[in-house]
Amino acid sequence: MITGLDHVLLAAPSGSEDRLRAFYGGVLGMTELPKPPGLAARGGCWFGSGTCVLHLGIERDFRPARKAHPGILVTGLDALAARLAAHGTAVVPDDELPGYRRFHTEDPVGDRLEFLEPE
């Protein structure tokens, strides 16, 4: 029986860890989580905030996810949108999901992200 979701993995290109840390840790304010030594050798990085855990894994033939994406629940959606815009990240509002305010954006390697807040 499924009891929950442990994490979501997004792919990233080799050598992108500094950009990912600046975005997920710096702009989004997530905490970088330690990787087990065997997995740390593969590159990438992990982040968490609240119950949200994202693993950014290195993929040799990386192509950003354009449709698939995590839906990340937040409080203060407008403040987050303003923070992203201030850092040069495009924010695309979307009002098509009843009961939520939301927008889509991309991380520094082009993976799609959705941020949403219940109304």
Q: What is the mean pLDDT of residues 83-95?
A: 97
Q: What is the mean pLDDT of residues 35-48?
A: 95
Q: What is the mean pLDDT of residues 44-63?
A: 96
Residues whose CB is less than 8 angstroms from the CB of residue 85 and which lie 6 or more positions away in sequence, other chains included: 91
What pLDDT does 36 receive? Answer: 94
Q: What is the mean pLDDT of residues 24-45?
A: 96
pLDDT digits 0-9 by tens, 60-80? 999 998 899 999 999 999 999
The H or E element spanning position 102 is strand 100-106
- List strands edge to edge, sheet with 71-73: 71-73, 112-118, 100-106, 92-94
Q: Hey, what's the torsion of the CAs at 68, 74, 80, 81, to 10 degrees?
A: 50
